[in-house]
Amino acid sequence: MARERQNPLFYMLLVMLVIMAVGPILLMLATSLKLNVDIMSDRSSLIFMPTLRNYEAALCNLLWYEPKSVDFCDPTFGRALVNSLIICLISTVLTLVIGCMAAYALVRFRFMGRDAVSLSTLLMRMIPPAVLLVPVFGIWTFQYGIAGTRYGIILIYVAMNLPFVIWILQSFIVQVPIQLEEAARMDGAGPFQVFFLVVLPLIKPGLAAAAIFTFRIGWNEFLLANALSDRATRTVPVTIVNSLTEYNIDWGVIMATGMLLAIPPILFTFFASRQIITGMTAGAVKG
């Protein structure tokens, strides 16, 4: 006997889990490739003529050609995709830049209230976004006047993700041996050179993990974006929900947008995760 036989129930459980995980995505993919006629027909079937019309409709204002299938180009989805990309990329970059510096300061510098700050960054994370919704909306609208702008959404995303990013990066920075920084100082590096030339390259895995995390939170976020955006600055999740109206639900286009929505985080995660390699500090100091 080479291997112990597994319980058939175990396999059934596996299959069910796979269906639960992959099923909705397949359904979304199939629907996005169907015409409305096929979607609405009583006999839902797997046999249909696949078409890219829904994708053309969703991206009509971003395509380099004018799709023949689209009579009237609704720019909403294309615009939302651009909004989502801009907002998420900028907020991710800002969060990382501020986060890594804050984490470094919290780990390496001794100042009054350091532990309190360190702890409260995490406590902030415990507050659900729904609680923030009303006050943030009020402040953004009446005090800052940035409701309905991309800046407003970027600002709240940065504020929301910063605590967790600081917390993740702290644990990475702690692992950078202090002797490396001392060696760099002896070699003539100033504080910023120590940070950018020695510490930052060594916490790249941490930055990548934090970047994936931040980007995906922003990408999927609905609640705050819904409250803080207007017609021109809506992100994709908000747009999809708003396109479910009582008069018309274009499932094909919504599903196509859903598929498009899934691509950037996948690409982003793919590229960022290549930075996550272990043993960055191997050979730095005697273990």
Which spans of this chain sit near another protein (rule: CB under 8 A)? 177, 179-180, 182-190, 193, 197-198, 201-202, 279-286
> Which residue's CB is nearer to another protein, number 67 or number 177?
177
> Which residue's CB is nearer to another protein, number 64 or number 192?
192
**Contact predicate 185/257, CB 8 Å:** no
Distance of CA 133 to the CA centre of its chain: 19
> Which residue's CB is nearer to another protein, number 120 or number 179?
179
* Min separation Cβ 285 and another protein, Å: 4
* Min separation Cβ 203 and another protein, Å: 10
> Which residue's CB is nearer to another protein, number 208 or number 255?
208
**Contact predicate 180/198, CB 8 Å:** yes
* Min separation Cβ 184 and another protein, Å: 7
* Min separation Cβ 66 and another protein, Å: 50
Long-range CB pairs of 91-94 (<8 Å, 24+ gap) are: 91/153, 91/154, 91/157, 91/158, 91/161, 91/214, 91/218, 92/211, 92/214, 92/215, 92/218, 94/154, 94/158
> Which residue's CB is nearer to another protein, number 112 or number 266?
112
Best CA proximity match to 212, nearest among 273, 278, 162: 273
**C-alpha–C-alpha distance, residues 277 and 164, integer Å:** 21
**Contact predicate 224/129, CB 8 Å:** yes
* Min separation Cβ 116 and another protein, Å: 21
